[in-house]
A and B are shown apart, each in its own frame.
Chain A
Amino acid sequence: MTESAGAPAMLDYSDKIKDHFFNPKNAGPLAEANAVGEAGTLSCGDALKLMLKVDPLTEVILDARFQTFGCGSAIASSSALTELIIGKTIVEASGLTTQQIAASLGGLPPEKMHCAVLGHDALQGAIANFRGEAWTASDEPGALICKCSGVSEGSLKHAIRMNRLTSVDQLTAFTKAGAGCFTCYDKLEAVLAQTNAELVAEGLIAREAAFSLQTRAPKPAPATVAATPETPAQPVARPRIQISPLAPSAPAGEPAMTNLRKIKLIEETIEELRPFLRKDGGDCELIDVDGSNVLVKMSGACVLCKLASATISGIQEKLVEKLGVPLRVIPVGKTPFGKAASGH
C-alpha cells in the first residue's frame, strides 16, 4: 500500500508554472473575439478554449483570453500561451511550437507535455478559425490512430519529430495517444518505429536511441480483463506512467555512431592508456565489442595485480568519457584464480 500524499506534481512544477497557475494571465471569456480555437474534451481530463482578437488589417493579435479545464500545468500552459502570442502576427503565432510553450514555463514535467500540445492545438484551431478554415487536431494528415484521445497519425509523427520521441510512453505523455483503452498500442509502435527510422537516416537521433520493432520492450498488459460469460469486460488499473528520458540529439554534423566508429574510438582510448599500463609491467588488448560490453584481455602484471579491478574500472571510466555512452569493460581469459571471469 504505497500511497503517499497526493501532490507529487507540486514538487515537479517550476516557479513559473506555479505563478501562471495561481495567478493566471488573460483568463476568462473575450467578448470581442474574432478567432476561437478549442482543443481537448471533458473525458480527456483537459480542455482549452482560446479566444483571440485579431486586427483584420495587420493580422496582429491584439488580445488573447483562455478558459481551461485541467490540471495545474494545463492552466499554466494556457496562461503562458496568451502571453506568448499577444502582439504577434498570425503568421508569427502559427510557427509557435509545443517546445516554445513548455520553455516559456521553464519546462514541463514529461508526463505533462500534453498540456503544451493542448495549447499548440487550440492556437492552430484559432488561426484556422480566423482564416475561415476548419481545423481540429484530428484533421492533421493521416488516419486517426488513437480513437480515445482523437490523435491522428500526422499528429503523432509531428510530436515524434519535434520532440525526438523514442518510446511509446513518451508518445503517450506528449500526445495522450494510448492513454485510454490502449488497443492502438501496436499502431503507436509502428508509427514510432517508422518515424524513428527516418530520424536516424536524417542523422537527427542516434541509432542506439531509436525505437525499432526488433528491439522494443515487452508490450504492457492490455487495459481490460477479457470478458467472461459471467462478467463484462472491466477496466483494470494501469500503472503510473514511467517516462524514459528523451533521446539525446546526435552530435551536430556527425552521423550516428556506427559500430566501426565505436570500436575505433575504443581502440584509440586503450592506445592512450597503454603507456601507463606498460609502465607497471602490464597490458590490455581489445577482444570484442558486444553492444555496450567491451571485452578486453588483461596481460602481464595486470593479471596478478591486486588492483586489476581498479585498473579495469579506470579503463571503463575513460571509455565512457571518450565515447559518451554507457559501456561496461569485462576482462576475459585467465584470471589469477584460473577461471574465466564472467564480469560479475
Chain B
Amino acid sequence: MKPIYLDNNATTRVDPAVLESMLPFFTEQFGNASSTHSFGETVAGAIKTARKQLQELLGAAHDHEIIYTSGGTESNTTAVMAALEAMPGRDEIITSAVEHPSVLQLCEHLEKTGRAKIHVIGVDSYGRLDLDAYRSALSDRVALVSIMWANNETGTIVPVDALADLAKAAGALFHTDAVQAIGKLPVALKDTAIDMLSLSGHKLHAPKGIGALYVKRGVRFKPLIRGGHQERGRRAGTENVPAIVGLGKAAELAIQNFPDELGRVKALRDRLEKAILSSVANCAVNGDPHDRLPNTSNIAFDYIEGEAILLHLTRAGVAASTGSACTAGSTEPSHVLRAMHVPEAALHGAIRFSLSRDNSEADVDRVIEALPPIVDKLRALSPFWSDGKSPSGDATPLYA
C-alpha cells in the first residue's frame, strides 16, 4: 500500500516540471553566473528569469527586491539581524508567541546576550494576535516587528498588512515569515507596507535548500553573509543555480495552481475535517475558523496522545504530523497550542493534516476510514475515558 502524504506543511514533493527545469543546470549549463564567458551568461539569464517569476508570485514592484537564500531559516535570521544593524538607536523587537523556532530562538538568544529587548505578543484561542498588546509594544525603540503570515501548525492567517501599517507609523521595520503562506495564498506586496518577507522553496514544490528574502526597495539593509558581490552584495556566495531555476519554476506553477489550491484542495480539507468531526467524539479543530490556510487542518483528540495516533496512522499508510514536526522528538506539547491555551485534555492529542495539489479524494477517504477506529482503540486504553464517554461529558467542538 503506497503511503498517503498529508504533511505538506513540513515539506512538499518537488513538482516534476520543477525538476525538469533544473536538470540542464547540473549538466550543460553548469557555469558560474559571475563568469564573463558564455557559460556564465546563460546562467545569469536563468537567475534573472527566476527572479522575475518570484516577483510575479509575490506581487513585488521590482525584481531586485528578491534575494536568494538557502531557505526560510536563513531568510528569517537575515531579516532580524539586518534590522538590528540597520536601525541604530532602536534595539527592541516585537514578535509573537506562535512564531517558528528560527525566529523565536534567535530572539531569545539576542535577549540573553543583551543585544535586543524582545516583546513576545500572545494570541487568543484561535491563534489570533493580541492587537492591544501589539499596539502598546510599538514605540520609537522598536527596530523590527517579525510576525508570521500564516501559522505552520494551525494555518491561522495573520492580518500582516494591517500590522505592517501600524509598525510603519511607529517607524519600525516589518518582517513576515511567510514560509507557509507563499504558494498557498495570492499576495501583492507592492500594495502593502511589508518591508521584508521570508519564503522557502520546499514548501511550494521546489527543492530544499533554496529560499528567498524579499526586501522592499529603499529599506535599510545589512547583509548577514559577506564576501561576494552576488545578490547585489546582499548575500555573498555562488548562486545555487539549479535550485534557483527550480524555485522560479515553482513560483510560476504556484500562480497557475491558485484556483486549485483555493478550490479543490480547500474542499478536500473541509471534507476531511467535517467527516472526522462528525464521526469522532470529543475532538476539535485548532486555528482560526474564519481565516485559515486552505490546506491545513489541526485536530485535537481529547484524552489520547498524538504520537500514539501517529504511529497507528503510519501503519495505516497515512503520513501526518503532531503539531510542528520540529518538536516531535520532545515530550513537550506544541508551543503554538500552549500559547492558544488549548485545554489540557486536548493539548497532547493534536494531529496536523496538511494537504497539497498532489492529494486526491481517495487520500482523504483513506484517512476518514482509518482514523475513527484508531481513536477508539486508544481511548479504550486511556484511563481518562470510560465506557465510550469522556469524564466531563461531551465537549462541544470549536466549530464544525
Partner of B101, one of A24, A228, A239: A239
Interface residues of A in 185-239 (CB under 8 A from B): 221, 225, 228, 230-232, 234-239
Q: What chain A residues lie within 8 Å of B329 (beta carbons)?
A: 8-9, 111, 240-241
Q: Is residue B105 within 8 Å, beta carbon to beta carbon, of the partner chain?
A: yes
Contact of A42 among B100, B109, B384 (CB under 8 A): B384
Check: A28 CB closer than 8 A to any chain B CB: yes
Instruction: Give the residues from 199 to 220 in chain B that come closer than 8 angstroms, CB to CB, to chain A.
Output: 200, 202-203
- Whether A1 pairs with B325 at a CB distance below 8 angstroms is no
Looking at A43-51, A133-141, A160-168, A251-259, the stretch in contact with chain B turns out to be: A43-51
B86 within 8 A of partner (CB): no
Beta-carbon contact of A10 and B105 below 8 Å: no
Pick from A69-77, A83-91, A267-275 the stretch touching chain B: A69-77
Given known A6-B310, A67-B381, A240-B326, contact A225–B321 (CB-CB < 8 A): no
B380 within 8 A of A: yes
CA distance A49 to B385 in the complex (A): 12
* Proximity string of chain B (322-346) to chain A, C-beta cutoff 8 Å, 1 when within and 0 when not: 1011111111110100110000110
Set B72, B108, B330: member contacting A236, Cβ < 8 A: B108
B326 nearest in chain A by CB position: A3
A235 and B308 contact, Cβ closer than 8 Å, known pairs A1-B200, A10-B314? no
Chain B residues closer than 8 Å to A179, beta-carbon distance: 331-332
- Let me know if A225 and B326 touch, CB within 8 A: no
Known: A45-B348, A47-B384. Contact between A231 and B119, CB under 8 A? yes
Please tell me if the beta carbons of A237 and B105 are within 8 angstroms of each other in the complex: yes
In this assembly, does B136 line the interface, its C-beta being within 8 Å of a C-beta of chain A?
Answer: yes
Tell me the A34-68 residues at the B interface (CB within 8 Å): 38, 42-43, 45-49, 66-68
Most buried by A among B101, B118, B315, B383: B383
Asked if A28 and B335 make an inter-chain contact with CB atoms under 8 angstroms apart, the answer reads: no
Interface residue? A157 (CB, 8 A): no
Complex CA distance for A47 and B381, rounded to whole angstroms:
11
State which residues 1-18 of A face B: CB under 8 Å.
1-10, 18
A45 to B342, CA, bound (A): 14
Contact B383 A45 (CB under 8 A): no
CA distance A114 to B352 in the complex (A): 25
The answer to whether B179 touches A1, judged by C-beta atoms less than 8 angstroms apart, is: yes
Shortest distance from the beta carbon of B232 to any chain A beta carbon, whole Å:
25
Partner of A9, one of B11, B102, B320, B328: B328
Contact of B321 among A6, A49, A240 (CB under 8 A): A6
Cross-chain contact of B320 among A6, A43, A114 (Cβ < 8 A): A6
Bound complex: CA A74 to CA B329 (Å): 15
Number of interface residues of A (CB under 8 A): 52
Considering the complex, which residues of chain B in the window 288-311 have a beta carbon less than 8 Å from any beta carbon of chain A? 303-308, 310-311
Within the complex, the shortest CB–CB distance from A167 to chain B, in Å, comes to 16
- Tell me if B325 and A5 are in contact (CB < 8 A): yes
B297 to chain A, nearest CB (A): 14
Query: Cβ of A276 < 8 Å from any Cβ of B?
Result: no
CB closest chain-A residue, reference B109:
A221
B31 within 8 A of A: no
Partner of B305, one of A3, A5, A71, A236: A71
**Given the contacts A45-B331, A235-B335, A1 and B203 also touching, CB distance less than 8 Å:** yes
Do A68 and B381 touch across chains, with their CB atoms under 8 A apart? yes
A225-B111, A230-B133 known; A6-B97 Cβ under 8 A? no
Closest B residue, CB atoms, query A29: B386
Q: B9 at interface (Cβ–Cβ under 8 A)? A: yes
C-beta contact mask, B132-152 vs A, less than 8 Å → 1, else 0? 010011000000000000001
Given the complex of chains A and B, what is the CA–CA distance between A75 and B152 in angstroms?
Answer: 29
Q: Are A22 and B122 in contact (CB under 8 A)?
A: no
In the assembled complex, A277 has its CB within 8 A of some CB on chain B: no
Asked if B327 and A237 sit within 8 Å, CB to CB, the answer is yes
B382 CB–A CB distance under 8 Å:
yes
Chain A residues with CB below 8 A from B72, complex form: 1
> Which B residues are in CB contact (< 8 Å) with A28?
380-381
A6:B7 contact, CB within 8 angstroms: yes
Chain A nearest CB, measured from B94 CB (Å): 9
Complex Cα distance A48/B381, Å? Answer: 10
Q: Residue A328 at the B interface, CB < 8 A?
A: no
Q: Are B7 and A238 in contact (CB under 8 A)?
A: no
Partner of B324 from A3, A43, A48, A49 at Cβ < 8 Å: A3
B380 touches A69 (CB 8 A): no
A120 at the interface (CB under 8 A from B): no
The closest CB in chain B to the CB of A179 belongs to B331
Complex formed: what's the CA distance from A8 to B111 in Å? 32
Asked if A130 lies at the interface with its beta carbon under 8 angstroms from chain B, I say no
The answer to whether B122 touches A47, judged by C-beta atoms less than 8 angstroms apart, is no
- Could you list 7 examples of A-B contacts with CB < 8 Å? A5-B319, A10-B310, A42-B348, A221-B109, A231-B130, A237-B101, A237-B335
Closest 6 CB pairs of A and B: A6-B321, A67-B383, A1-B72, A3-B10, A237-B335, A49-B383
Interface residues of B (CB under 8 A from A): 7, 9-11, 71-73, 97, 100-102, 104-105, 108-109, 111-112, 118-122, 130, 133, 136-137, 152, 179, 200, 202-203, 303-308, 310-312, 314-315, 319-322, 324-333, 335, 338-339, 344-345, 347-348, 352, 380-384, 386
Kindly list 17 other residue pairs between chains A and B, CB separation below 8 angstroms, not including A69-B305, A72-B311. Answer: A1-B179, A1-B203, A3-B324, A4-B10, A4-B325, A5-B319, A7-B321, A9-B328, A18-B311, A24-B381, A27-B381, A45-B333, A74-B305, A176-B331, A179-B331, A231-B130, A236-B335
Which residues of A are at the interface with B, using a C-beta cutoff of 8 A? 1-10, 18, 21-22, 24, 27-29, 38, 42-43, 45-49, 66-72, 74-75, 111, 114, 176, 179, 221, 225, 228, 230-232, 234-241
